[in-house]
Amino acid sequence: MPEKHIHLAAFMNAGPMATVGWRHAAARDDFLDAAYYTDTARLLEEALFDLIFVPDSLAVPRSLGGRFDPAVRYGAGSPRLDPIPAISLMAGATRHIGLAATTSTGYNEPYNVARSYATLDHLTGGRAGWNVVTSFQDAEAQNFGFEALPPREQRYARAEEFLEATARLWDSWSDAAVVHDKVSGQYGRPDEVRAVDFQGEYVKVQGPLGVPRPPQGYPVIVQAGASPSGRDFAARWADVIFCSHESIESAIEFYSDVKALAAKYGRDPDHLKILPAAAVVVGDSKEDAQARHHAFEDLVEPEAGLSRLAYHINVDLTKFDLDGPLPEMEVAGVMGHYREVLEYARTRNLTIRELGQWYGARTEGYLVGSASDIADGMEEWIDRGAADGFMVVATHVPAAFADFASQVVPELQRRGRFRTEYTGKTLRDHLGLPRPEREEWKNRAASTLRKATQP
Ligand SMILES: Cc1cc2nc3c(=O)[nH]c(=O)nc-3n(C[C@H](O)[C@H](O)[C@H](O)COP(=O)(O)O)c2cc1C
């Protein structure tokens, strides 16, 4: 059997790289300028990445003691530019690479989100992706008229309706709806366009969308939920799942659980690509890479790390003894990050303060070593059923991506694990995903799947 190919996404903030990435001597300082994005996108396209992924958050974090000071002081989670203009710029500078931005289902409406991503998909010739998030901070909720973050079940219930409505809007024009006949004067076929008339508990939309069906049918859907409801949602709707794990064992558990869930919903599990985060530090040797990693960790101010952790799990850590252990608790924030942090703290017996120091420099799933060590690690994760590829996180931009591109990519290519040219046109082509037929949403939405399984 041929060896499984590795998919690569590049994780890139529209702003400084988390907590300390911007302090690195080789980090570019111009993340408020267009050239930072266009230059990095060209570099990643030359390295033949499947896609660039831009995360997002809709607030200056203030989970630590209710103050935004640490986030501003240390550049931890702030500033954050709007990812859609950022990926639009990157799209204009490239021809092949996929581009995914993050948009919340909590504080938007299906019509404007369906429209933005359909537009991006047209303007990029089918290279757009949408990272669907339900958002996880009180500070974000408070920027949109809420007192606090709505409970997780409610966030996912809204996201479920949101996805169904959005997919139906993308389907509101059939693939045959555009005639564009200058001679007869007919642009579109009204019989191939229909209203949506979606009436949910959280979202309502009449439709049709003002944009023809996207080239990819639906732009690629990315998701990162790790809680039981997050996994169920992702198993139905996602084309790509982004996750982070502290060990290969927890990655294998997650991978097999979500793939089995996808199969239960009648999907081909191979049409759901799981990409754990891999923060890559490449050196000439393992020792050289470790020295680089330690130098990076030394840049962290403990308060900045604590602030970042508090923001990710949406828990004010100042209410606990910082010199005691992280307690077991229900977190409203990112369950995936919390589980990972708890696993790390338990195995090393760390206090909350020590965890903060570590978390400040943590950029999910470190792979530290020579190019050959990193390729070995990636192959192991692929072959043991922990991943279909990786979300490569750069400690600093663009130099960490450049190191990866010049050293690890050729090593993966030598091993027959990574493409040597783009062979398809769309992001779905790069990922080996089929183009959804019109009405594919019926195979994904909880509303129709429930009806189908009822006697
Ligand atoms: C690796 C990873 C990256 C994430 N990136 C974002 C992001 O950029 N913006 C965001 O609002 N949420 C992000 N999330 C949060 C998830 O999308 C999800 O909303 C959150 O984890 C709550 O769902 P859960 O409890 O099911 O995990 C991320 C989660 C993980 C695990």
pLDDT, position 454: 56
Q: Is the CB of 336 under 6 A from ligand 1?
A: yes
| Cα 20 from Cα 22, distance rounded (Å) | 5
- Residue-range domain boundaries for the chain: 7-173+211-301+366-453
Which of 53, 108, 135, 136 is the best mutation target for the ligand 1 pocket, counting ligand atoms within 8 Å of the beta carbon and taking the most? 136
pLDDT, position 363: 63
DSSP letters along 309-330, please?
Answer: HHHHHT--GGGS-TTSPPPP--
Mean pLDDT, range 148-163, rounded to an integer: 96
pLDDT, position 19: 73
Mean pLDDT, range 359-368, rounded to an integer: 77
Confidence of residue 434 (pLDDT cuts 50, 70, 90): very high
For the CA atoms of 288, 293, 298, 302, what is the dihedral angle to 10 degrees?
A: -160
Q: Does the pLDDT value for residue 193 go beyond 90?
A: yes
Atom 23 (ligand 1) nearest CA: 225
pLDDT, position 205: 98
Q: Provide the CA 226 distance to its chain's centre, in angstroms.
A: 12
| Cα 31 from Cα 369, distance rounded (Å) | 28
Q: Which of 399, 363, 387, 397 is nearest to 283 (CA)?
A: 399
Q: Count of alpha carbons within 13 Å of 355, Cβ hemisphere only?
A: 28
How far apart are the CA of 56 and the centre of ligand 1, in A? 10
Q: Which single residue is written with the structure tokens 């309706």?
A: 161
pLDDT, position 162: 98
pLDDT, position 43: 98
Q: Is the CB of 139 under 6 A from ligand 1?
A: no
Q: Is the CB of 244 under 6 A from ligand 1?
A: yes
Atom 29 (ligand 1) nearest CA: 224
Q: Is the CB of 150 under 6 A from ligand 1?
A: no
What is the CATH topology of the domain spanning 7-173+211-301+366-453? Answer: TIM Barrel (3.20.20)
Q: Is the CB of 340 under 6 A from ligand 1?
A: no
Q: Does the pLDDT value for residue 1 go beyond 60?
A: no
Q: Does the pLDDT value for residue 440 go beyond 80?
A: yes
Residues 293-351 have pLDDT tens digits of 989 888 888 888 888 899 889 999 999 999 999 999 988 888 878 888 898 899 999 99
| Mean of all residue pLDDT scores within the chain | 94
pLDDT, position 360: 83
Q: Is the CB of 70 under 6 A from ligand 1?
A: no
Q: Is the CB of 105 under 6 A from ligand 1?
A: no
Q: Is the CB of 436 under 6 A from ligand 1?
A: no
pLDDT, position 225: 82
Q: How far is CA 120 from CA 25, 88, 91, 138, 333, in A?
A: 34, 7, 9, 30, 29
Confidence of residue 147 (pLDDT cuts 50, 70, 90): very high
Q: Is the CB of 243 under 6 A from ligand 1?
A: yes
Residues 15-29 have pLDDT tens digits of 998 778 899 999 999
Q: Strand ranges (DSSP E) for 194-318?
A: 198-199, 204-205, 220-223, 240-243, 273-282
Q: Does the pLDDT value for residue 246 go beyond 90?
A: no
Q: Omega before 398 cis (within 30°)?
A: yes
Tell the burial category of 182 from Cβ atoms under 10 Å away from its Cβ (0-12, 13-18, 19+).
exposed
Query: What percentage of the chain exceeds 70 in pLDDT?
Result: 98
How far apart are the CA of 334 and the centre of ligand 1, in A? 6
pLDDT, position 211: 98
Residues 85-131 have pLDDT tens digits of 999 999 999 999 999 999 999 999 999 999 999 999 999 999 999 99
Q: Count of alpha carbons within 13 Å of 54, Cβ hemisphere only?
A: 26
| Cα 4 from Cα 53, distance rounded (Å) | 22
DSSP letters along 265-286, please?
Answer: TT--GGGSEEEEEEEEEE-SSH
Q: Does the pLDDT value for residue 362 go beyond 80?
A: no
